[in-house]
Structure formats: structure tokens, C-alpha cells
Amino acid sequence: MFRDHAVLARATGFAGSGLVALGGLGAGALPVGVPFFAGLKHVRIGLVGVYSGLALLVLAWWWYGRVTRHSRAEQEWSTLALWSAPLLVAPPLFSRDVYSYLVQGVMLGDGYDVYRAGPSALGGFFAAQVPEIWQHTPSPYGPVFLFLADMMTAPIGEHLLTGVILMRLLAVAGLALLAYVMPMLARQAGIDPASALWLAVLNPLVLIHFVGGAHNDALMVGLLAAGLAAALRDRPIVATVLVVGATLVKAPAGLGLVAIAVIWAARLPGRWPRLRASAAVGVTAAAATAVFTVVAGTGYGWVSALDTPISPQNLSLTNVLARVTEGGVGFWRWLGVLAVLVVAGLVWTYRSRLGPLYGLGIVLVAIVAFGPALRPWYVIWGLVPLAAAAGQHWVRHLLAGACAVLVLVVLPDGFAADAERFLLATVGALLGVAVFAGVRLASSPAVYRVAASR
């Protein structure tokens, strides 16, 4: 029965992922100005299909986690490949960010300074794919990612879909790296590797945004996890270089440098050796940053562009509170900064009890919760170290439940919902739940016994 349920859970997840991909052809973040996709677009049917698939995928994930406890990492990897496969060939889903990545790569190739100019400076077919809110916004990404974006767009010419595929493969490479190192992190923290993979890699929130959305957060998180794994295996210099690479994709990964310093210092006797270790991390990080920036050729404009995500139009707790209270956005933002600092201070105070991975995860979650921009996939930043280090069942259940809810909050085209779309999404999700209930009922021992008695 165990094997039958595991196989059925995997098949159900694959069906859910497939429905998400098919529904995305009608309601995803489709490119504009492409007749083929214009002919496929059918938002109502697509929304029902996507949300039916999301419900199936989430429920299959929960079921799979219950029937495959303490399984081998290889089994989790094969499930990852199975559930990711339909999303690999889907149009961009739940966000149009991948088009921004492509535009920035093209702009670099054409000689633009993407830290000063937004997509509107380029104009044309590629820039038309970027939402209006970001048309005049410079890039917030680091030189490592922009170097890769330039490399990805150099050979594609005007072939937008080829660029999307290449960007998705880059994100999948980050996810594959995460899947490879996650068991190492978990073992070091005394966590079951299969449980860590289930929570941090097979998670539907990870699949739909890292594979379906092709977000560069996948590369950032993969490099960050690899750096932390290297630090735990007594390779602090390699670890520092990897985490700097992650930071020069997206800046929040820079907190991993503190975790590396803590890991290294904890293994040394005496105050001065620990201080020297921390200084060595800082010096290595500065040198690696300089080398990466010179090789990328983008300059240090990314430092001044770090406030790009800060906008009153962003969804964030601080912006919501500012609207509700009719208070100043600046006041609530500074209160958010204070909240993050308080959390970081508490984590530092209890660092010996929490451990570096657990502490890093908590601070990253605080940055997402109290920061200037909240996107569902940002939660994955903190999810990964917490999945590798949090041993309490209630914490893991809370993380899994939060991720299950966050899967459903973004429409497949990346835009806000109106009443009609909300209703269609609800109908789709209920259909998915009904199908899953039928699958579970058909697979129950009682049904087997009744069928066998006839």
C-alpha cells in the first residue's frame, strides 16, 4: 500500500503540474504581439485550469510527504523532475519578471547602462513585454546575474521565446543546485534529508515560481545554499565566494556571509582567532565582489540601484499599514526596518541556541515580512535555511501551511485579481479538491476490499 500511495501521489502531482501548464496557455504571462499566443489566450478557461492544477499539486505534495517519510534523496529528485517537466514547457507563469531579465540582457548587449535606464530606453518588441510600472525602473540585480543575462540574450536575436527558455534553464540550474546541496545542509543540522527536500524543493511554491516563473531567485538561493554547505564542510573561502556570487544576483543573500563567519568562528578557540576568521570572510567577500564586478563589466551602479523595489505601489505590510492608517509611508517603512533590526538582534543574542542556519532563515523571513516589497517567492529565501535546520514539527507545519496558501495568491498572468477572476480561481481550486478527494477515495483500503469482494 505504501508504494501504491507514493506512486499515486507522484502521478497526481504530475497531473496538477500539467494542468497548471495547460491553463497557462490561456491565462499565463503570455508575450504580447505574438499571434500564436493571442490565438490561445482564453483567460476564463485558463484560470479554472491553472487553479485546478494548483489545488491538485498542493494536495499531492502534502500526501506525498505523508507517505514517503524517510525516503531516499534519489526518490525526491526523481519526483522533482516529474513535477517540474510540464512547467518547463509552459509559458511564463505568475509573473512577467522573466521579460525584464531579457530586456536588461539585451540592453547590456546594446551598450546601455541598466543601472541608469529602464526598459523604455530600449523600446521595441522586447521592452513591450515589461509592465508599465517597471518601464522606467533601472535594474536592481547584481553584476553576476546581469553578466549571465547578457550571455543568455547574445545569441537569441529577436527570438523572445528562445530567451525565455534559456532564462528558465538558468533558474532550473539554480533549483538543481539547491536540490543537490539540500541533503548536505540537513544532515549537518540533524534533519532528515528527505524531509528537507520535500519542504524546500518539492514545495509547489518553489516549483511554480522557480520553474514556471523562471525567477532569478532560484539562482540566488541555489548559490546561497551551496555556500552554506561549503561552510559547514570547513571550506569557508569557497563558501564566501559562492555566497558573494549569490549576493551579486540578488542582495539579500549577503546575510549568508554573517552565517559563514559564525560557522567558521564557532570552530576556533579563543577570541582573536574568531575575529581573524570574521575579518577573513570580509576581506574575501570584498575581493570576490571586485573580481566579479570587473569581469561582468557593469560597474558598481548596482549599489545605488538597491532601492529599486521600494515603491508605494508595491504590495508590502508597511504600504498596507500606511494606507489603512492614512499615515506616511516613510514612517511605516522605518518601523519595518526597526522590526527587522529587533529580530536580527534577538537572533544574534540566541545564536548559540538557534544555530547559524536557523537564525539566517528567521532574519530572511523578517526582511520579507517587514520589507518594502512582498512577493510570494521571496518567502523561499528564508524557507530554505529553515527547512534545513528547523527541527520542531510545528515550525515545519507552519512553513508548509504558509507555502500552500501563498501558492494561491498570485494570478497566472501576474496581475491583480478582480471579482470575476477571483470567482473563477475559486471554482478551479474547488474542482481540483474534488478530483483529489476522488483519487484518495478510490485508493483507500476500504474501496480495495469492496472491489475485491465482487
Cell 499565463 maps to which residue? Answer: 28
Kindly give the confidence (pLDDT) of every residue in the chain, 454 residues in length, as a single tens digit, with 9 standing for 90 and above: 445 888 899 999 999 999 999 999 999 999 998 887 777 788 899 999 999 999 999 999 999 998 877 678 788 899 999 999 999 999 999 999 999 999 999 999 999 999 999 999 998 999 999 998 889 989 999 999 999 999 999 888 888 999 999 999 999 999 999 999 999 999 998 999 999 999 999 999 999 999 999 999 999 999 999 999 999 999 999 999 999 999 999 999 999 999 999 999 988 888 888 899 899 999 999 999 999 999 998 888 888 777 666 655 567 777 777 777 776 777 778 888 899 999 999 999 999 899 999 999 999 999 999 988 889 999 999 999 999 999 899 999 999 999 999 999 999 998 888 889 999 999 999 999 999 999 988 877 654 444 444 4
User: Quick check: 329 and 312 in contact, CB under 8 A?
Assistant: yes
Using CA atoms, how far residue 436 sits from 52, 56, 408, 431, in Å, is 10, 6, 17, 9
Q: State residue 35's pLDDT score.
A: 82
The structure's pTM equals 0.92
Q: How many residues are given for the chain?
A: 454
- Three cell numbers written together for 236: 569557508
Distant-in-sequence, close-in-space partners of 140: CB < 8 Å, separation ≥ 6: 250, 251, 302, 305, 306, 308, 309
* Contact status, residue 226 vs residue 426, Cβ threshold 8 Å: no
Q: What is the pLDDT of residue 451?
A: 42
pLDDT (0 to 100) of residue 452: 44
**Closest by CA position to 305, among listed 109, 152, 124, 136:** 136
Q: Note the pLDDT of residue 266.
A: 86
